[in-house]
Amino acid sequence: MADRNTSGTYRDLEIYQMAHQLGVNIHKLTFCLPKFETYETGSKLGGNETIQWVEYIRDCHQELKEESREILRQLDKLGRKINRFISAVEKGHEVRT
pTM for the model = 0.74
Alpha helices in 1-97 (DSSP H): 14-30, 35-44, 48-60, 65-96
DSSP string, 34-56: -HHHHHHHHHH-STHHHHHHHHH
The string of pLDDT tens digits covering residues 19-69 is 999 999 988 988 888 777 766 665 666 666 888 888 988 999 999 999 999
The string of pLDDT tens digits covering residues 67-90 is 999 999 999 999 999 999 999 999
Handedness of CA 29, 35, 36, 41 (dihedral sign): positive
